[in-house]
Structure 1
């Protein structure tokens, strides 16, 4: 019997009437006369409950019974027949009878067709949908085009075509939406040669591998969206199949897990529609398109290969990828970094079997330019192409002192990026008071294309100078006479330049400080910023003059004056980003003594009011892991206030007192520069490079030994700071990662 018949509940049992053999009669039992108590029965019609007696026994009276004399049965020796579990055969022997089985199927039915030839189906307890012989078709005249098992989504994980069956005119949405369906067995039993529509047949299922290479596709059949939005589909076998005039629009669209579509000996011809056939299949790295005849002018293939992540491809002599006349293109691109560049390999072009890389402005960037017509495809012929990955280059930037003939390196930054990309010059060049000599290098420099292994590490030497003295103008006026403007070449020390005009500055050779005033301000992008102004003999609050602070005495030589002034400006220069430093020096013999400090007319300034020097500049500072003392302007500890650990403060002045530097954080409260670090607020996300571990340091530059950032992880940062001349991003309270380990997201 077939399993379908058995499942209907039919059970066949044996005959109900049987003969039994006789048992001996116990002569101790109470008996009655044979003639009175026993009804004579023919031997062949023996009652199954009466046991015929053997002729060897005797009755109660000791009279031997003959063979024709029936005996009275003994009540206690008669066994009832168990009709449920056993019966007796013709010889009187017991035989077992199997009980009827219970139907455990979840559901069953028959597919609806006009001629009532629809396949019978059932879903067993293992959640397998069994489809038998007959016609397989979608729901007839369904307004919603839903599959026949739309109410059994949770009960179907596998489909088995148990017998040969024929696909009807439409298999549209046949299994669509069966989100738990992961496997199809015996799909070759389904004949689709007469099927006209298979639209969305497997859409939104979870089958991983499918081999439909035995199918014969009907010319003109619509297979659009057949596997659309199939998130689990990994491998499909189309070997040897023939497609003619078929609509394959979005056949594999948005199958994110699809990695293999084998098409050995497969042919595509006629007026085909390939539009978005493989669109968004991010894991599909290889395709063989040699079987695609796309020369028919009625074919459509817009966005057919809009993958961006294809790495290897065979293109045939009839594979036309671009048809400008129709405004359509297969869009055979490669990932150039604009699409998921952080998570996928980035490429720079296609390399054919001739070894030539096609990319950039000199060559067509995408292959659809090489196969843009029937003639072009025929000319290029069958060619195997590979996308050439962009090399990741390690770069080293050495910033050296342009004013030093030995080109001493002041600090170095490192990192990595793709060839051809630009790398920003580190902002610490301005943060530390430096700037490149070449203003074209203020923004970024480009990494060269990698042509050999030696190009994988690229080193750049960037000359820099102190920003505050990149150029300087000294204007000297004596007794209201002619002004002498003396240009100063920028440099790291710049004292040597000042010494060159000693004779021009105060030609008498000695300086009358009481009759000399100064005015220092910087210029950046046309805006003037005051630094300091006054008379060298102006007293501070503690009666120490600016001259004494600079180490100058009345009657000092012009050389001593130039050296002291140069060192002072150099000190100021590390805190200012400017294009020009301006020094106006005025000597006037008629100037009265002790006229008091005056301020620069271009804006407010901060002359010394104590023996310390105040410089107006704004910076953000932060404490580290301990409470920090505050000091007043005299350098005394503030006893009732302190700065808590790991807190940030805005400072508007830098103050120097007795060779100790401070930042002002309140009206008369200062913190030592050695107790805090300067940072730049900047909220970003940094991502650790794929091939690196992000090692950490604290704000003092000491390595964190028990923690590090895992490769390819993202971290929020709220600031960066300079530690030992290198840029670090803060990723925890007192933990910083070097910029060479990360990139901004």
Structure 2
């Protein structure tokens, strides 16, 4: 449905457009109520509070009120300490000690744990919220020994959401244990696990033992390891996104193949450390000469243990023939030229005979395409230099392929002519927080003297217009904002967690680094939208503060 139709349904006159109010007063329900002082934001970030959203979608020609609240609030995953805080206790008859956020389980014989029991007693919630590491068979003073499990140890370490490491598994004796289901499940910050010393090959049940452990990227496995029905789940780090388990000398495997390899009946003879490597990504974006996006896609190439493309990477390039509306990327079926230019950060004057456009950007002309009819070889040429000098894990190369624009009908008035192309869309745009009010234009590109959009306001748009050399988004009947004055955003109520070992940098909606604030490792944040800055995805975590998707993970 067009914007006009939506307005009609809502009973709003098409001819009335209320200017977005720059003043943030309490009498205006459409004003931005999420802005705080800089000091307030800083305190909020380091306190790991979560911005609260007002989930209201306003399709009227006024800014959406879906703004981030930055008042201090407790994080969704953090409860205040209560009376359950203790420094020692027992779990299934075995002594434990807790100090400096480390949980130590002393040597001893565990009682059998049933699926409906609570082995940690009154300290359950406190320990699972505050422990960041677990050491088995150690009392915390250096005295070590075996922890012998009974017939069932189900759920013993389940739900320790902030634990990043579990040490001393060689001290956990499960030789007579039949049920290890949910043993480590829901340890969502756990990044590595050494299962090599646990003889679980013949254990009757390991159902969901690793379920929802979505941040594991290192597993040490041995001939005595079984993963069948373990629920191993790497979250976003899966084969769909190009992540693969790799080790030197072996073919990289996706998670399903790794589980199949350790099925309790294989002939594996060695202990192996498997790493879940981020892929090498080629992002291809097709545009026409008017700047209209024709299509885009990402291609992932799994990485081996040395940061290089896996041996059968030729399969990776075959997908590059299907990224634009013509069904081809460079040449059509008859060998005719499709692409006129290619832009990429990989183009450097010292390597390529590149030219500069009017904006000073380096590009390659069609002579490079005409000389190479095989698209696989073409992109191999762009990446081969890096393949021998860089660790490609986690890297993204972005290519913009520019195609000639389709001919548009000319609308004439007197001696002047206007090239106009309008496309129906369903998108949302936002004005920049630190820039002036955004000027609006009518259908012919003429300035509307009494209409502007206030900074940091959100708008629904149902049409884009290419008018001569300028692109516009419609925000109301006969009212358009230039694409250069706004940015596209994508509503997405979610939660993100900062990667382990990463202090996440914050940037503004213009991509400027926030110099006096950052997000601590493993802190959790609520986000209401994401945007793209220089082809990189960013989540909003506070008013005009965004964090790169490369530094956090949704959970």
Q: Under TM normalisation by the shorter chain, which class is it?
A: 0.3 to 0.5
Structure with higher Rg: it is 1
Greater RCO structure (CA 8 Å; 6+ sep): 2
TM-score (norm 2): 0.47
TM-score (norm 1): 0.36
